[in-house]
Amino acid sequence: MKWKLCIISLLTLVSLRAMADDSIYVKPSSPSRYDRRVNRYRKNWGALIPTLFVFQNAGNMGTLSGGIGWDYGRRKQWETELMFGFVPKHQSHRTKVTMTLKENYLPWSIGMKHGWSIEPLSASFYLNTIFGHEFWKQQPSRYPKGYYKLLSTRVRVNIAIGQHITWQIPQERRHMSRSISLFYEVSTCDWYIVSKVVDWGGIPLRDIVGLSFGVKFQTL
């Protein structure tokens, strides 16, 4: 009898426990302050993961430049890119490295068949800096004030307009990126514009604008 009671009470205990596990209602464990902080921390740092990779030639930033970028905005119409490029040695003393911070605005995207789309306008603004002792950000102190009425030989302010064509890679064929865009743009920089303004008739347009081709891989 004693044994019977013992077994019954044990079974009851086990079944009760099982019932508790099976229960639909689980008391919500509210995230602690620490959990919330970690979530925010992950989300904020996660925003820094580049969403795209970009390569382009010319554009007053070197023979070839490549870098990372982020797209954002409700329709992902804004892009910020950080690129590094190089200017080959050619007839100078050494190869030079350039760095570019570029902001693109792509207001429209027109969808087409088979995952293709066209962005009929891209407007860009970018700052390019070239590394080397022969370039200065500001006129060095050896010169009298306002000696060269220039901003900087190191940093060029550029503007560009262009067009993109994008292919959304089908799910099953995606390997590294979600979509690939090919683009071209026509660009000029502050000093080219100044030289044109100083001598409007004497400087041909082809001297101040340049063409670039590029490719963009959308990874996220």
Partner 1 sequence: MKKLLILLLFSLVSFSSCDDIFKTHPYDVNFKHPHHINAQQIIRIETDFADSDTLRVAFISDTHGWMTHTKQELDMLNERKDVDFVIHCGDLTDTGMRYEFERARDMLSRLRYPYVALIGNHDFLGTGEEAYEVIWGEKNFSFIAGGVKFVCLDTSALEYDYMAMVPDLDYMEYEATRDSSRFDRTVVVMHVPPSSEEFNKNLRKTFRYYLSLFPNLQFCVFGHNHHTYEEEMYNDGLMFYGVGSAEKHQCRLFTITRNDYEVETLYY
Q: Which residues bind partner 1 (CB under 8 A)?
A: 55-64, 87-88, 90-93, 96, 98, 130, 134-135, 140, 142-144, 148, 150, 153, 156, 175-176, 187, 189, 191-192, 195, 198-199, 201-203, 206-215
Pick the closer one to partner 1 by CB: 58 or 127. Answer: 58
Q: In a 10 Å sphere around its CB, with 0-12 CB exposed, 13-18 middle and 19+ buried, how is residue 104 labelled?
A: buried
Pick the closer one to partner 1 by CB: 104 or 212. Answer: 212
Pick the closer one to partner 1 by CB: 78 or 96. Answer: 96
Pick the closer one to partner 1 by CB: 52 or 87. Answer: 87
Residue written as token pair 């959990």? 35
Q: How far is the CB of 13 from partner 1 (least distance, A)?
A: 60
Q: How far is the CB of 55 from partner 1 (least distance, A)?
A: 6
Residue written as token pair 């089908």? 170
Under 8 Å between Cβ of 145 and 46: no
Q: How far is the CB of 29 from partner 1 (least distance, A)?
A: 44
Q: How far is the CB of 64 from partner 1 (least distance, A)?
A: 6
Q: How far is the CB of 96 from partner 1 (least distance, A)?
A: 8
Across the strands, what pairs with 162? 122, 185
Tell me how far CA of residue 18 lies from CA of 14, 24, 26, in angstroms.
6, 12, 14
Pick the closer one to partner 1 by CB: 43 or 133. Answer: 133
Query: Nearest CA to 97 among 87, 110, 109?
Result: 87
Cα atoms in the 13 Å half-sphere on the side-chain side of 126: 28
Pick the closer one to partner 1 by CB: 14 or 215. Answer: 215
Q: How far is the CB of 155 from partner 1 (least distance, A)?
A: 11
Tokens of 192: 């080219």
CA distance 211 to 140: 33
Across the strands, what pairs with 210? 187
